[in-house]
């Protein structure tokens, strides 16, 4: 009975993972960065690829430039939207690339190709509220030099990038010291509430018009041009040349005003990105795109399946590995200290960091997320297995020995059953930590309940955040309840009866 | 407790009592007998003429039933499963196990409906009966009992004492019992071995210990346990 249900669980997990792993030769895996414009460009590509009769998978909101670039080189994605300025100043900084041809030549070294620019230039637009700018008479970036008390709030990537804050401060000799890094989308709110005076907007952000911002003139021409292009793997050109042809339709077609309008619709009017992209294609290329009706429930079902795959595979693997490790830790004192030390240390690494460490090793998507969750699930089970065995009374241990049972039989017939309750509690703890941590899987393209949370943060949409947060909490409660039921069935009855 | 030089032969078919205060080494001695502890001073235990070693201890224990204080029954197994554990492990057929368990229940006077209960659902006396059945299931040549009645109420204790004596007489097995209770020793034992500080002080039956104490300690030990009732009735 017990063996059967485990078997069914494993089968369930295997069928669902194979369903997700679509035939790679006939599909195009599109990636996009974590900001709205990139997601819209990803949706534009998705529609065009689908329209060309090829299946497109859009892995949206994957992360920053480095994550996307590594994923492209590894082949986890085939194509993603990038900016020329990001390549010259960030990806290949110091290589002295200037023209488009320079960039093409450099990309080719990694077997990556590039389309022509799509039209618009989305450069950094250091901005202030108009009223504040007017009060001090600030129009140009160099004007900022005279107002050291101004508070700056920049997106994390701008703080860290080669072409970001550090070089801006140098070129313009800026004296400000109150400079903080925060999520790009939250910076606008900070600006609106007066907590920040100056932010790094993108010139095509819808918010610039919405919040009535003054874009400061880059009078020393610090920022390069950030023309939007698609960069893709050379093998995509060979496999599916019609796809590249379809995507080239967009070259030179999107003006700055048009991109700004699309961004504003998605972020401020809350129109879904795929709708925004479809409307643009209909207007500009007279392309009719069918948008599949996606009900809340079907989306929730999809997210639930994705989440369950992450949780069940990683937890199952963790159980298989942790229980023997716990036994080993109990049997050999020396080894035990090493094992408990290592799994304890893993637990102290922040979950976000573990996920990011996994990218160079395992790429993006389910696999690295499952590996990270697996590592996170080890400690409670190893520890509780060890403690369960350790806490068996010396009398019972001696009793088993005195009967003449060899060590393996003692473990199987006596020691493990006596530890089931403790082991089970460990598994329960692991499962619940796992369900919560799995929401971070969305950061590396593994989907699940983290996806709406991530999008919700980006779009400042509490409803969307709750679409991920509530099911995750419900799932945790549900799993807790299920485990409590299963406990009655797995923990030996003799350990559950009340003594007289 | 460290044992000093001990030279003891256990008479076959008789009941031998290892008597002493706590710390006298009596529990250590019984553990050495069934190989739970190895004598570190290089001593040997001869069991049916065979030296007991680390290698053969597991197999030889099948011929030594062992009952510890409070029974040491496994809480996750029913009384029946506790008793049948070793027979099942050694691959006995189910009906053979059934027959043996029923036989033993009769011998120890355990009601059959108690067999499906878990240890937590049994009384202290019943637990000791089950523990004795578990020790007897493989029909061992030697039966070792470490303070078998130590944790029981006086009433149940005296009832079980009588039953134990009957059982030992019926079986005619070699029995070794560890106790600190002189009354229990006199009632159950053919041979009493009095231990102190890891050494044998005197061996013999109760009458010999009382009448011809080898050292004054023997008399001290016996007198310390005289019941206040005896003083009242002037029986001493």
Q: Is B118:B75 a contact under the CB 8 Å cutoff?
A: yes
Strand order in the sheet with A27-31: A55-59, A27-31, A79-83, A228-233, A112-114
CA distance B72 to chain A (A): 5
The separation between the first and the last C-alpha atoms of chain B, rounded to the nearest angstrom, is 34
Confidence band, pLDDT 50/70/90 cuts, at residue A363? confident
Facing A409 at nearest CB: one of B66, B89, B121? B89
Which ranges of A391-461 would DSSP assign to H, the alpha helix? 394-402, 407-410, 416-437, 450-459
Q: A488 touching B, CB under 8 A?
A: no
Tell whether B150 lies on the interface with A, counting CB pairs under 8 A.
no
pLDDT in tens, A201-216: 888 988 888 888 999 9
For B149, the 3-state DSSP assignment is coil
pLDDT (tens digit per residue) in A108-129: 999 999 999 999 999 988 999 9
Binned at pLDDT 50, 70 and 90, residue A39 comes out as: very high
Chain A residues close to B89, C-beta within 8 Å: 405, 409, 413
pLDDT at B101: 95
Q: Which of A397, A403, A414, A420 to mutate to test the interface with B (most CBs of B within 10 A)?
A: A403
* Tens digits of residue pLDDT in A297-346: 888 999 999 999 999 999 999 999 999 999 999 999 899 999 999 999 99
pLDDT number for residue A410 = 93
Using a CB-CB distance cutoff of 8 angstroms, which residues of chain B are in contact with residue A495?
Answer: 75-76
Find chain A residues with C-beta within 8 A of B77's C-beta.
Answer: 492, 494
| Burial class of residue A388, CB neighbours in 10 A (0-12, 13-18, 19+) | buried
Assess B37–A contact: CB distance below 8 Å, yes or no: no
Name the residue facing A497 among B73, B74, B120 (closest C-beta). Answer: B120
Closest CA to A414 of A433, A392, A436: A392
Cα–Cα distance measured from residue A381 to residue A393, given in angstroms and rounded to the nearest whole number: 21
Q: What is the 3-state secondary structure (H, E, C) of A247-300?
A: HHCCCCCECHHHHHHHHHHHHCCCCCHHHHHHHHHHHHHCCCCCCCCCCHHHHH
Task: List pLDDT tens digits, range B57-100.
Answer: 888 888 999 998 777 899 999 999 999 999 999 999 999 999 99
Based on its alpha-carbon atoms, the radius of gyration of chain A, rounded to whole angstroms, reads: 27
Residue A128 β-bridge partners: A198, A214
Q: Tell me the percentage of chain A whose pLDDT exceeds 90.
A: 56
Question: In this predicted model, what pLDDT tens digit does every residue of A169-184 receive, in sequence order?
Answer: 999 999 998 898 888 7
Instruction: Please tell me the distance from the alpha carbon of residue B23 to that of residue B29, in angstroms, as a whole number.
Output: 11
The pLDDT score that the predictor gives to residue A23 is: 56
Residue among A305, A282, A280 nearest A366 (CA) = A305
Residue (of A357, A415, A347) closest to A386 by Cα position: A415
Is A494 close to B34, i.e. CB distance below 8 A? no
Q: What does the angle CA B37 – CA B39 – CA B43 come to, to the nearest 5 degrees?
A: 145
CA distances from A339 to A321, A367, A376, A454, B164 (A): 12, 24, 14, 35, 49
Find the residue in A nearest to B124 (Cα). A500
DSSP assignment letter at B112: G
Contact list, A418 vs chain B (CB under 8 Å): 74-76
Sequence-distant (6+) residues with CB within 8 A of B75 are: A396, A418, A494, A495, B118, B119, B120
d(CA A471, CA A475) in angstroms, rounded, equals 6
Minimum mean pLDDT among A3-12, A282-291, A420-429: which range? A3-12
Tell me if chain A has a CB within 8 Å of the CB of B134: yes
Residues of A in contact with B57 (CB under 8 A): 404
Convert the pLDDT of each residue in B103-133 to its tens digit: 999 999 999 999 999 999 998 889 999 999 9
Domains of chain A with bracketed CATH: 25-121+226-285 (3.40.190.10), 124-215 (3.40.190.120), 296-498 (1.10.3720.10)
Q: pTM surpassing 0.90? A: no
């Amino acid at each position: 009975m017990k063996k059967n249900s485990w078997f069914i669980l494993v089968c369930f997990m295997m069928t669902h993972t194979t369903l997700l792993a679509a035939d790679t030769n006939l599909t195009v895996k599109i990636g996009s960065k974590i900001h709205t414009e990139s997601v819209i460009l990803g949706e534009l590509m998705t529609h065009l690829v689908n329209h060309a009769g090829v299946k497109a998978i859009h892995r949206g909101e994957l992360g920053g430039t480095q994550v996307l670039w590594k994923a492209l080189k590894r082949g986890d994605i085939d194509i993603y939207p990038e900016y020329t300025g990001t390549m010259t100043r960030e990806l290949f900084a110091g290589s002295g690339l200037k023209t488009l041809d320079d960039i093409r030549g450099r990309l080719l070294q990694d077997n990556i190709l590039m389309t022509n620019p799509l039209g618009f230039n989305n450069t950094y637009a250091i901005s202030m509220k108009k009223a504040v700018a007017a009060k001090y008479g600030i129009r140009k970036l160099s004007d900022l030099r005279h107002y050291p008390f101004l508070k700056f709030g920049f997106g994390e990537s701008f703080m860290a990038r080669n072409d970001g804050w550090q070089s801006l401060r140098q070129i313009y000799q800026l004296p400000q010291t109150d400079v903080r890094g925060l999520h790009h989308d939250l910076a606008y709110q900070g600006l609106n509430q007066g907590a920040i005076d100056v932010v790094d907007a993108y010139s095509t952000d819808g918010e610039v018009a919405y919040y009535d911002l003054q874009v400061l003139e880059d009078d020393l021409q610090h920022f390069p041009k950030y023309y939007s292009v698609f960069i893709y793997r050379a093998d995509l050109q060979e496999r599916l040349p019609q796809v590249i042809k379809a995507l080239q339709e967009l070259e030179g077609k999107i003006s700055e005003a048009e991109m700004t309008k699309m961004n504003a619709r998605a972020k401020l009017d809350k129109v879904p990105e795929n709708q925004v992209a479809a409307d643009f294609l209909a207007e500009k290329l007279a392309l009719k795109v069918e948008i599949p009706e996606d009900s809340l429930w079907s989306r929730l079902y999809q997210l639930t399946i994705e989440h369950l795959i992450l949780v069940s595979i990683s937890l199952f693997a963790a159980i298989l590995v942790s229980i023997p490790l716990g036994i080993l830790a109990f049997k050999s004192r020396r080894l035990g200290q090493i094992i408990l030390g290592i799994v304890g240390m893993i637990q102290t690494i922040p979950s976000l960091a573990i996920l990011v460490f996994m990218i160079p090793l395992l790429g993006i998507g389910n696999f690295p997320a499952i590996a990270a969750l697996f590592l996170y699930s080890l400690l409670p089970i190893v520890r509780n297995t060890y403690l369960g065995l350790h806490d068996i009374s010396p009398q019972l241990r001696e009793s088993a020995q005195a009967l003449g049972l060899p060590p393996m039989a003692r473990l199987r017939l006596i020691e493990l059953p006596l530890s089931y309750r403790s082991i089970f509690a460990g598994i329960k703890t692991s499962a619940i930590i796992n369900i919560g941590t799995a929401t971070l899987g969305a950061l590396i393209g593994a989907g699940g309940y983290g996806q709406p949370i991530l999008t919700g943060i980006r779009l400042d949409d509490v409803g969307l955040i709750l679409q991920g947060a509530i099911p995750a909490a419900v799932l945790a409660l549900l799993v807790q309840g299920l485990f409590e039921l299963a406990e009655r069935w797995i923990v030996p009855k003799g350990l559950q009866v009340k003594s007289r | 407790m460290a044992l000093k030089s001990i030279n003891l032969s256990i008479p076959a078919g008789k009941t031998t009592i290892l008597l002493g205060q706590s710390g006298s080494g009596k529990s250590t001695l019984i553990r050495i007998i069934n190989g739970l502890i190895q004598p570190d001073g290089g001593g040997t235990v001869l069991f049916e003429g065979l030296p007991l070693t680390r290698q053969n201890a597991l197999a030889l224990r099948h011929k030594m039933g062992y009952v510890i204080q409070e029974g040491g029954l496994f809480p996750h197994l029913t009384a029946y499963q506790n008793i049948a554990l070793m027979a099942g492990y050694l691959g006995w057929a189910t009906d053979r196990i059934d027959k043996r368990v029923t036989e033993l229940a009769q011998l120890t006077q355990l009601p059959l409906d108690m067999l499906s209960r878990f240890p937590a659902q049994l009384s202290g006396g019943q637990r000791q009966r089950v523990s004795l059945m578990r020790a007897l299931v493989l029909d061992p040549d030697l039966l070792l009992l470490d303070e078998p009645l130590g944790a029981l109420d006086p009433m149940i204790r005296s009832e079980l004492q009588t039953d134990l004596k009957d059982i030992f007489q019926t079986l005619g097995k070699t029995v070794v019992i560890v106790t600190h209770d002189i009354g229990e020793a006199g009632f159950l034992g053919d041979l009493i071995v009095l231990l102190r500080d890891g050494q044998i002080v005197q061996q013999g039956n109760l009458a010999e210990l009382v009448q011809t104490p080898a050292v004054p300690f023997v008399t001290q030990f016996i007198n310390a346990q005289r019941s206040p009732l005896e003083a009242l009735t002037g029986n001493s």
